[in-house]
Amino acid sequence: MDLNYLVNQIKASPQGLRIRQGQVMTVNVSPASVDIQIAGDGNTLPKVKYLDSYSPTASDTVWMLSFGSDLLVIGKQA
């Protein structure tokens, strides 16, 4: 997934956009996605997309954009 996808999602519905923090539990090869545990929540969300500029590893603390029920990992917390 590239940055163009992210820009289009934000332009379509900026009023519902939130930034969340979570932890990568599993890195999936096909399709390229990660399973994420959102901070403060005991549930793991499967198959969350991530930007091409981020190379995920298990246990990374990451930032995600949330718009409605859609989540997108935008990068690792430094």
- Please write the tens of the pLDDT for every residue from 48-62: 999 888 999 999 999
Domain coordinates in residue numbering, the chain = 3-76
How far, in Å, CA of 15 to CA of 70, rounded? 14
Find out whether the peptide bond into 56 is cis, omega within 30 degrees of 0.
no
What CATH code is assigned to 3-76? 2.40.50.230
Q: Note the pTM of the prediction, 2 decimals.
A: 0.77
pLDDT at 60: 96
Q: CA quadruple 44, 45, 49, 53: dihedral positive or negative?
A: negative
